Amino acid sequence: MKYAAIPRDRLPALLAHMPKTELHIHIEGSLEPELIFALAEKNGVALSYPSVEALRAAYAFTDLQSFLDLYYAGASVLMNEDDFYRMAMAYFARAHADHIVHAELFFDPQTHTERGVPMGAVIEGLDRACADAKAHYGISASLILCFLRHLSEESAFETLQAALPYRQHFIGVGLDSGERGNPPEKFARVFAQCRALGLHIVAHAGEEGPPAYIESALDELQVQRIDHGVRCSDDPALVRRLAASGMPLTVCPLSNVKLCVFPTMQDHNLATLLHAGLCITLNSDDPAYFGGYLLTNFEAVFSALPSLGAQDAWQLARNSIDASFAGEPDKAAWRAALDQVFDQALAGA
Ligand code: HPA
Ligand code: ZN
């Protein structure tokens, strides 16, 4: 707890400058309205909104599905390899500004292949951006292919098959889209095949869905991280299990408030879960839709939750490094850089 002595007025600088990773970002959710309109015009795609302002004004969501409807409409402007590259490079510029050293990007191939976009255009565009993120910004970046859980098991198997020629370009698989009525076990056989292929495994669970979905993700899919997971608090035994196992939760605070998972940020349970010993990480989810990128999430949380201090800032950044799928030498270097930022603040405290 040595960083607890750092006063709260040092927090803004620490949150900004501490090295951090981002483990829960849907790259299609980083498409800003300006880029949606630019790509729509270039590709001759019709949009239902007359202007950037009108589109942004429509970003008032009542639940996950009300967001997903707009999110899939926005993603419909992505047609070729360069579109995916541009989208991801715009994200990496923001990530660099927020001192993100490593990012694991979710992408939703079915959203694109269903419209006739080739799998290769999606993955090669994103992969080229990941390589340039390293070259331009020093950010290490990798891709996690997500299956849409509102679609069938058969569609997930077909998607995996279509992605296998690009196997070296993605490190893992995840599960996203509408949670209610689509429990993790629906995809148990697909994920078993993915595990056999040596892919990392994550899944959205307990965002809107019940604690049983978190248990199913753990037991049936054998996930290495739970995406969201905040509804674990409805089951104290599950909270104890998550703490004891060190299972990371990739929590997305601004997303949770925008999608009415919590009425306000003051009501968010992440500080309680963090102080109960869970491996909590902070993430932006769909930053173009939810009001901010990763640093904005940190700022919102630390201004709304008075129980969080400098030690918690360090722990959240440290968890983000530990929970990543990066290699050990990189992780060791980021941990040392993180400690250096906090040791300097402590020396000046
Ligand atoms: N939840 C589920 N699916 C998603 C999300 C989310 O927050 N964002 C993009 N796809
Ligand atoms: Zn998500």
Q: Is 4 domain-assigned?
A: no
Q: Which ligand is nearest to the CA of 27?
A: 1
- DSSP for 89-104, please give it: HHHHHHHHHTTEEEEE
Q: Is 103 domain-assigned?
A: yes
Check whether 198 has a pLDDT greater than 80. Answer: yes
> In Å, how far from its chain's centre is CA 312?
20
pLDDT exceeding 90 applies to what percent of the chain? 99
Task: Give pLDDT tens digits for 3-27.
Answer: 999 999 999 999 999 999 999 999 9
pTM of the predicted protein model: 0.98
Distance from Cα 337 to the centre of ligand 1, integer Å? 31
Please report the pLDDT score of residue 225 as a whole number. Answer: 99
Q: Which residues line the pocket of ligand 1, CB cutoff 6 A? A: 26, 29, 64, 71, 176-177, 204, 207, 255, 285-286
Q: Is 3 domain-assigned?
A: no
Q: Which pLDDT band holds residue 192 (cuts at 50, 70, 90)?
A: very high
Q: Is 176 domain-assigned?
A: yes
CA distance 233 to 149: 23
What's the mean pLDDT when you consider all of the chain?
A: 98
Q: CB-based contacts of 50: which residues, under 8 Å, 6+ apart?
A: none
Asked if 138 and 291 touch (Cβ cutoff 8 Å), the reply is no
Q: Is 1 domain-assigned?
A: no
With the most atoms of ligand 1 within 8 angstroms of its CB, the residue from 61, 144, 180, 204 to mutate is 204
Q: Is 337 domain-assigned?
A: yes
Q: Is 38 domain-assigned?
A: yes
Check whether 349 has a pLDDT greater than 80. Answer: no
26 CA closest ligand 1 atom index? 9
Helix (H, G, I), strand (E, B) or coil at 145: strand
Secondary element (H or E) of residue 134 = helix 119-137
Please report the pLDDT score of residue 146 as a whole number. Answer: 99
| Tokens, residue 78 | 């992505």
Check whether 324 has a pLDDT greater than 80. Answer: yes
Structural domain boundaries, residue 102: 12-347
How far from each other are the two terminal CA atoms of the chain, in whole angstroms?
Answer: 15
Check whether 77 has a pLDDT greater than 80. Answer: yes
Distance from Cα 177 to the centre of ligand 1, integer Å? 5
Distance from Cα 13 to the centre of ligand 1, integer Å? 30
Helix (H, G, I), strand (E, B) or coil at 46: coil
Write the CATH number for 302: 3.20.20.140
Distance from Cα 88 to the centre of ligand 2, integer Å? 16
**Based on the structure, what is the number of domains in the chain?**
1
Instruction: Summarize the confidence of residues 182-188 as an average pLDDT.
Output: 98
Q: Which ligand is nearest to the CA of 250?
A: 2
What are the beta bridge partners of residue 202?
225
Output the CA torsion 43→47→53→55 (10° steps): -120
CA distance 288 to 285: 9
User: What residues are neighbours of ligand 2 (ion), with CB under 5 Å?
Assistant: 285
Q: Which pLDDT band holds residue 45 (cuts at 50, 70, 90)?
A: very high
DSSP state of 224: S
Q: Is 6 domain-assigned?
A: no
Residue in the block written with tokens 């402590």:
346
| Tokens, residue 10 | 């040092």
With the most atoms of ligand 1 within 8 angstroms of its CB, the residue from 66, 146, 256, 285 to mutate is 285
Q: Which residues are catalytic?
A: 207
